[in-house]
Structure 1
Amino acid sequence: MDLADLNPSALMRQTLLGASRNTQLRTAVEKAPMSRDVVKRFVAGQDTDAAVRVASELVQSNRRVTIDYLGEDTLDPEQASATREAYLELLAALSEAGLTAEGQVEVSLKLSALGQFLGRDGHKMALENARAICQSAANSGTTVTLDMEDHTTTDPTLAALAELRQDWPWVGVALQAYLYRTEQDCRDLAHEGSRVRLCKGAYKQPESVAYQDKGDVDKSFVRCLKVLIEGEGYPMVASHDPRLVEIATVLADKARRAPDSYEFQMLHGIRPDEQLRLAADGHALRVYLPYGDDWYGYLVRRMAERPANLTFFLRGLATRG
């Protein structure tokens, strides 16, 4: 596709997604004066204590939480093990703080951070690390959701999901509406007890596997949403789009779903007033809360999903730097 064929929004999105892998730009942003203060809107902090503190504040405002320990480009088994240990430490701290009962605070995992692509044994390594985290979550009375990354991770992640669900049927998974395949994946997973997070998708994908136009992505999201809400599973509707939130509410009412049979999910720092409104109206609302040092790639993808976030970030750097 020629860049001239892209509308300004799509061009900005592709530029930002490219920036998420730009090492020089990453270094410049991380070293910018007061940069981390601006990032606090979107990221809980760098360590376990910060994640537990912010999660507690969110729970007190009648919101649920799923916590992601940031880190994707795992380069060796030791780094994968460190990520596993970070999750085990986090779950122990959440349990001690009384935040894990009935899954009010759970965790989200990226299998790549647990070693998924470290050679021939990567899948086995990631699965073993995920098993340790799932067992810790079960001991703490909470749940785990597998994040999805670029399209090359879909089949390995769904394979890992099937294996993990043999012991922990409550393990959830994220599906991305911009992939052509996702409607069928939703049909395959819309069974009783199956927790599925539906999001639009935040990674740059080729036209051969994914819709490129925002309108087409939205239409796919609605089709997938119908499958999940009319199914027997537990849909987790991950969107900040007011129109899609309203459509989900209407579909759930039409399907006569009880308020506790599905939930909305939104990112920490995005539309907090709407989060509070949904929770006050009796909807289950879960906040996706990241923490850790490796926040740059996450932050840039959030700006790609919603370019208005870029304006906020740059304004913060200009006024606080």
Structure 2
Amino acid sequence: MNPLRPVILAAANSPRLKRAVTRTPLTAAVVRRFVAGETRADLAPVARELLASGRMISVDFLGEYTTERSMADAAVAEYVSLIDELAALEAPDTAVPCVEVSVKLSALGQSLGQDGPAIAVENLHKLCSKADESRVWVTVDAEDHTTTEETLEAVRQLRTEFPWLAVAVQTYLRAAEDRLRELAAAGTRIRLCKGAYQEPETVAFQRAAEVDASYLRCLDVLMRGKGYPMIASHDPAMIDAALTLAAEQHRTPADFEFQMLYGIRDAEQRRLVSEGHGLRVYVPYGGQWYGYLMRRLAERPANLGFFLRALADRS
């Protein structure tokens, strides 16, 4: 285990440290770089600016870890309001929807005991029904490997009614390639990412070279399949590979897209858009940004260097 992990997790759970960190001007600048704000009012100008630049968006509401049904209900209510506001920003004449929401099933109640998975599916259905009325897409985010099968099963169930429903697949998981063959054959929209959780070696590749190799294999499966690939990566090698495969498979901007995090590689995002490629920015917002950011670093402490490098890269 990385020695930084317990330190970062302790920091995430320390109210005193949170107060100190959130009142530091430099920290506030870091947060504004990577999180759109705490409320939908904060999110709105960020979303409008990104859309005006020709980019698409996928918005994630950062809430508390859901331990009660009332918390899941509150998350659903927030997402319903979010979908309403995003729908007003949607351009009706685009090949694919420019606005999307990203949601974790844990936020919708997946972990609420024996009935949790069913509660999460019920709540996801509510969001998909609302989104379907509003020309807004939904992607179900990946979490740690213990939730993967339940998450995929939920997406399978709801895709019979909402075929545009997407799911994220993490390619550092050893089973990713086999899962992707099934999903791609079914024509699923798939967000392909390397993965950020700290997983055991029995289920996940540990070395960067292995993770990269798995990503490239999975990318090849997606590009040759019937699905809609969403290449969620800032890695130039993965982006170049995606462009090569897209050209070989005669895919157009309506057939695949790139995805990057808000605040990361802005110049590269703009370059891809200027060349006619679809690019969607993953934009988080919510009052729980501190815990979210710290947990991201704890899940994979190597992200710390990544975020610090991004801060220095103002291009």
* TM-score, normalisation: structure 2: 0.90
1:311 aligns with 2:311: no
Equivalent residue for 2:82?
90
Alpha-carbon contact 2:58-2:99 (below 8 Å) kept? yes
1:258 deviates by: 1.8
User: Could you report, residue by residue, the CA deviation over 1:133-167 in whole angstroms, capped at 9, with x for unpaired residues?
Assistant: 11111111121000000000100100110111121
- SS at the partner of 1:178? coil
2:193 pairs, out of 189, 192, 199, with 199
Q: Which residue of 2 aligns with 1:157?
A: 151
Instruction: Determine the C-alpha separation between the residues in 2 that align with 1:261 and 1:254.
Output: 13
Q: Deviations over 1:184-223 (max 9, x none)?
A: 0110001354100000001110111000101100000000
Contact 1:56 1:99 in 2 (8 A): no
Q: Distance in 1 between matches of 2:269 and 2:5?
A: 26
Asked if the contact 2:12–2:291 (Cα under 8 Å) also holds between the matched residues in 1, the reply is no
Decide whether the 8 Å contact of 2:142 with 2:148 is kept in 1.
yes
Look up the SS of the partner of 1:289 in the other structure.
Answer: strand
The match for 1:80 is 72
2: CA distance, partners of 1:217 / 1:309 = 17
One-letter amino acid matched to 1:160: A
Relative distance call for 1:170 and 1:241 in structure 2 (3 A) is same
Q: Which residue of 1 aligns with 2:50?
A: 58
Offset from partner CA, 1:255-295 (integer Å, 9 cap, x none)? 22123210000000010110000011111000000000111
1:18 deviates by 6.7
Match of 2:305, as an amino acid?
A
State the TM-score, normalized to the length of structure 1: 0.88
Gaps of 5+ in 1: 4-10, 316-321
Change in CA separation of 1:230 and 1:109 when aligned onto 2, cut-off 3 Å: same
Identify the match of residue 142 of structure 1 among 136, 155, 172: 136
SS at match of 1:265: strand
1:171 to 141, 165, 172: 165
**Structure 1 contact 72–110 (Cα < 8 Å) conserved:** no
Q: Please tell me whether the aligned partners of residues 20 and 296 of structure 1 are also in contact (alpha carbons under 8 angstroms).
A: no
| Aligned equivalent of 1:103 | 97
Which residue among 207, 215, 220 is the counterpart of 2:214? 220
CA positional deviation for 1:314: 9.5
Opposite residue 62 of structure 2, the aligned amino acid is: L
* Pairwise CA distance, 1:49: 1.7
Identity, % of aligned positions:
44
Count of matched residue pairs: 304
| 1:99 CA displacement | 5.6
Contact 1:175 1:199 in 2 (8 A): yes
Q: 1:270 to 1:90 in 2, by over 3 A?
A: same
Counterparts in 2 of 1:259 and 1:98: CA distance versus 1, 3 Å: closer
Kept in 1: contact 2:59–2:100 (CA 8 A):
yes
Matched with 1:6 is: none
The answer to whether structure 1 residue 122 and structure 2 residue 134 are counterparts is no
Q: Which residue of 2 aligns with 1:318?
A: none
User: What is the identity, as a one-letter code, of the residue corresponding to 2:8?
Assistant: A
CA distance in 2, matches of 1:18, 1:160: 35
**Structure 1 residues 131-140 or 26-35, which shifts more?**
26-35
| Amino acid in the other structure paired with 2:308 | T
Q: For residues 292 and 95 of structure 1, do their structure 2 counterparts lie closer, same or farther at Cα, with a shift above 3 Å needed?
A: same
On the 8 A contact 2:50/2:56 being kept in 1, the answer is: yes
The residue matched to 2:85 in structure 1 has which SS? helix
Output the CA distance in 2 between the equivalents of 1:63 and 1:22. 34
CA contact (8 A) 1:42 1:268 kept: yes
2:245 alignment counterpart = 251
| RMSD (Å) for aligned C-alpha atoms | 2.2
1:62 is paired with a residue whose SS is: coil
User: 1:48 aligned to 2:45?
Assistant: no
Please, which runs of 5 or more residues in structure 2 have no aligned partner?
A: none
